[in-house]
DNA sequence: GCGTGTGAACTGGTTCACAGCG
DNA sequence: CGCTGTGAACCAGTTCACACGC
């Protein structure tokens, strides 16, 4: 089924997955592509295409069954089992994320280790997850079979840390550092998120007055259909 | 000059801007598109195209002058003046970012306000920037002419907060909430970043074995040229 | 009628390949 | 030569528009 799903679709599918969870908690049993589009701030055609990458599921006239859709996405995107995760760098940001542990866990990610270069810091932080000095990183990752890592070290250390993680067998990394890191080993996925850069992109977009994506829009017929349901 | 620069290019240009800063600090005077590509984990053609959206600048044979390029990008993307920024929601994550103030400032963003719904919390946090209760948000934003906001409130509050910010005149928002928020007013840019969703995307990418973007590659000649310079 | 599934048309970005210049 | 600037070719993702099913 999954002969290459485009990344933007993958991102939206994960968002849809979350939306299903929320809708389910609200007691809603069924949802249309139009409603999902509204939640994701996307288009209904887009939503339908995305879902169809995974195969057929919908029930015409009534839309998608919330629970069925959620499970369907989870099954196809391998979101069913809890994945082991670690946090590297326990400064302000890292600690905050560590404290976030609950939400990560609810989302299907168990934080099983924290790492930092400063032994001192390791001793002062009290956490529910075990903390280790950075030089044990590769070993612990390998031993515990940790699949994901969240990196919040200073920029200078980012690439080194990445290498150690990859060496230990990590398969996905979120890097909050201003340095773009790369994994030698193919197949390891990295997502770089730097706040300053995000702010700059935002700044350039807002000042350079890019034609707003909401301006280029559907034809009359389409627009009416979508608007009506608001 | 800037008749619509694609968003991915904008993102890379900001990264290049940062790279220039770093290179400058290292004392490097000149940089080639190939080297930049390596830093950004991108392709040289891409880098050249991006830079050319802004107009011509390069100095054949020797590459780009680091400082000139940096200023060139700053001028075109309006990265020259310091922008006022605020942080909404001062829980663990918000406070961590508040403490990050130094890096934001170094990057050209002055944090001039923090907001939270809990008066209690406002009183316990000690910060160098003024803190306000959330109901003053719209007013303060308008008064101070704050252009950017970083939102770290609980998901339920995200859309409401966004509306208040937009009402006050904010032009760009980074939303760390699991809820995708939308601005009614056109022209306001929103960047949604949710950690759990990022982890899910990563998970689906790594397990679903998407053909790695590094696999589909340049022709022989091209590859050789790029590799040689490593 | 309402809403999914889907080819076909289109738009946007990336990569190629090479001319031109120091 | 080495490296930029750039049309042209290519590939990817989005939007359109409509057929088909409940």
Per-residue pLDDT tens digits for A182-209: 998 988 999 999 999 999 999 999 988 6
| Neighbouring C-beta atoms of residue A29, cutoff 10 Å | 12
Say how far A43 CA is from D1 C1', in Å.
Answer: 51
Q: Do B209 and A199 touch (CB under 8 A)?
A: no
Return the structure tokens found at A230.
Answer: 């608001």
Which residues surround strand C, with CB < 7 Å? Answer: A 31-34, 44-45, 48-49, 51-52, 56-64, 216, 229; B 4, 6-9, 42-43, 45-46, 49, 59-61, 217-219, 221-222
Nearest-by-Cβ selection for A202 from B41, B92, B191: B191
Least confident of A92-106, A210-224, B116-130: A210-224
Say how far B108 CA is from C20 C1', in Å.
Answer: 38
The pTM assigned to this predicted structure is: 0.92
Tell me which residue of A69, A206, A169 sits closest to B148, measured CA to CA. A206
Return the structure tokens found at A150.
Answer: 């969240």
For chain B, give the mean pLDDT: 91
Whether the Cβ atoms of residue A2 and residue B208 lie closer than 8 Å to each other = yes
pLDDT at B159 over 80: yes
Return the structure tokens found at A61.
Answer: 């006239």
Residue reference for tokens 């904008």: B10
SS3 A197: helix
The tens digit of pLDDT for each residue in A58-81 reads 777 889 999 999 999 999 999 999
Give residue A115's Cα distance to chain centre.
Answer: 21
The whole-number average pLDDT for the span B58-64 is 83
Return the structure tokens found at B35.
Answer: 């080297």
Whether the Cβ atoms of residue B80 and residue B61 lie closer than 8 Å to each other = no
Model pLDDT, residue B85: 98
| Neighbouring C-beta atoms of residue A58, cutoff 10 Å | 16
Which helix (H) or strand (E) segment holds residue B173: the answer is: strand B172-175
The whole-number average pLDDT for the span B64-80 is 96
The whole-number average pLDDT for the span B140-157 is 98
Tell me which residue of B111, B193, B126, B190 sits closest to B155, measured CA to CA. B193
SS3 B118: coil
End-to-end CA separation in angstroms for chain B = 34
Does the CB of A30 sit below 7 A from strand D?
no
Measure in Å the smallest separation between the Cα of A64 and chain B Cα atoms: 20
- The sign one gets for the Cα dihedral A58, A63, A68, A70 is positive
The torsion angles phi and psi of B170, rounded to 5 degrees, stand at -65, 145
Cβ-Cβ contacts under 8 Å, A108 against chain B: 196, 199-200
Reported confidence tier of residue B171, pLDDT bands at 50, 70, 90: very high
Model pLDDT, residue A2: 55
The tens digit of pLDDT for each residue in B15-36 reads 999 999 999 999 999 999 999 9
| Neighbouring C-beta atoms of residue A207, cutoff 10 Å | 17
Cβ contacts of A59 within 8 Å, gap of 6 or more: A30, A65
Cβ contacts of B217 within 8 Å, gap of 6 or more: B223
Q: Residue B45: which nucleotide is closest by CA–C1'?
A: C15
Does the CB of B229 sit below 7 A from strand D?
yes
Q: Do B93 and A96 touch (CB under 8 A)?
A: yes
Cβ-Cβ contacts under 8 Å, A173 against chain B: 202
Q: Do A195 and B215 touch (CB under 8 A)?
A: no
Of residues B159 and B187, more confidence is placed in B159
DSSP A14-27: HHHHHHHHHHHHTT
Q: Let me know the angle formed at the C-alpha of A61 by A60 and A65, rounded to the nearest 5 degrees.
A: 70
Q: Which residue in chain B has the smallest CA separation from A78?
A: B204
Q: Do B107 and A196 touch (CB under 8 A)?
A: yes
Which helix (H) or strand (E) segment holds residue B85: the answer is: strand B83-88
Model pLDDT, residue B210: 62
Cβ contacts of B185 within 8 Å, gap of 6 or more: B166
Cβ contacts of B191 within 8 Å, gap of 6 or more: A198, A201, A202, B172, B173, B174, B175
Reported confidence tier of residue A215, pLDDT bands at 50, 70, 90: very low
CA distances to A165, B174, B187, B197, B220 from B153, rounded to whole Å, are 31, 12, 23, 16, 50
Reported confidence tier of residue B209, pLDDT bands at 50, 70, 90: low
Nearest-by-Cβ selection for B96 from A18, A96, A199: A96
Cβ contacts of A3 within 8 Å, gap of 6 or more: none
Alpha helices by DSSP H, listed for B126-219, are 137-144, 155-168, 195-207
Of residues A36 and B224, more confidence is placed in A36
């Amino acid at each position: 089924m999954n002969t290459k799903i485009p990344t933007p679709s993958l991102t939206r599918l994960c968002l849809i997955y979350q939306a299903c969870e929320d809708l389910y908690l609200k007691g809603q049993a069924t949802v249309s592509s139009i409603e999902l589009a509204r939640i994701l701030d996307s288009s209904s055609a887009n939503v339908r295409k995305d879902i169809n990458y995974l195969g057929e599921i919908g029930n015409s006239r009534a839309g998608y069954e919330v629970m069925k859709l959620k499970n369907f996405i989870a099954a196809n995107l391998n979101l069913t089992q809890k994945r082991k995760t670690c946090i590297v760098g326990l400064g302000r940001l890292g600690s905050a994320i560590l404290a976030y542990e609950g939400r990560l866990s609810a989302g299907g990610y168990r934080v099983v280790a924290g790492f930092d270069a400063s032994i001192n810091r390791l001793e002062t932080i009290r956490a529910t997850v075990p903390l280790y000095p950075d030089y044990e990183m590769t070993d612990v990752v390998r031993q515990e079979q940790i699949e994901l890592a969240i990196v919040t070290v200073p920029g200078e250390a980012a690439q080194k840390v990445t290498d150690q993680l990859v060496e230990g067998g990590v398969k996905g990394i979120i890097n909050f550092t201003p340095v773009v890191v790369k994994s030698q080993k193919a197949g390891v996925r990295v997502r770089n998120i730097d706040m300053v850069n995000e702010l700059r992109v935002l700044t350039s977009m807002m000042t350079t007055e890019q034609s707003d994506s909401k301006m280029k829009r559907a034809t009359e017929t389409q627009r009416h259909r979508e608007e009506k349901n608001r």
